Amino acid sequence: MTVKFELEDGVAIITIDRPEARNAVDHATALAIFEAVRRIDSNHDIRVGILTGAGGHFCAGMDLKAFLRGEVVRFPEAGFAGVTQANISKPLIAAIEGYALAGGFEIALACDLVVAAEDAKFGLTEVRRGLVANAGGLVRLPRQLPAKIASELVLTADIYPASLLAHHGLINRVVPSGEALQAALAYARKIAGNGPLAVAVSKQVLGESQDWSSTEMFDRQNELTAKVFKSADAREGASAFAEKRTPVWRGE
């Protein structure tokens, strides 16, 4: 098995487990991540997913040896490694130690939150190999970083420290080496304790509204969020507050 799947208290952890290849993605790994992400999205009891890597590294991107063998590492409906273009309603958190390079960096860009060890290294290194960062690097990075910084990362293919990306707002939290997963779990548990319908709709609006004009954004937001205010969870949240107890969410 090149991917491990663990579930505890509504939080699923996907661990890429190819440490001998710095967790580079071949076909078997891509398929396993794809299936794990679908499992997270379809399971009512799973509230949050975490993506991480084994052996001290996150992911070195596409396995170039697998590329030369013609292995399929992306899927039409979900992109590279079954995640970079996945339409998933649950939040995903990247917990990064060591290298997050090329497609590995692009997996992180597809996540909602990023936690990184202080010695983690990031780079879109595709052009160094005659390839392009078309698993999200070219289109997501300019939306998440200043344009000139994004151009530098893409065109130089250099590798950068977590501190630089945190300075520009691409990383939520930088932690001591070896603590990225625990920090990601802390975020995940907070999110998992919130109303699942409210979280899902909030995530949807956060993602889709980037393309909305100022004249339509509130109307479009209200179309999506109206159901939250009419939901059983909204009533439960208000009741739990009034009764000073922990809410019991139904996700509806």
Active site residues: 106, 126
The span from the CA of 141 to the CA of 124, in Å, is: 10
Packing angle, helices 147-156 and 137-144, rounded to 10: 150
Most distant pair of Cα atoms in the chain: their distance: 62
Provide the terminal-to-terminal Cα distance of the chain, rounded to the nearest Å: 36
249: three-class secondary structure by DSSP: coil
152: three-class secondary structure by DSSP: helix
The span from the CA of 220 to the CA of 208, in Å, is: 10
CA dist 108 → 46, 65, 97, 161, 216 (Å) = 20, 22, 12, 15, 30
Task: For residue 199, give both structure tokens.
Answer: 């979280």
Q: In whole angstroms, what separates CA 123 from the centre of its chain?
A: 17
50: three-class secondary structure by DSSP: strand
CA dist 172 → 114, 161, 187 (Å) = 5, 14, 10
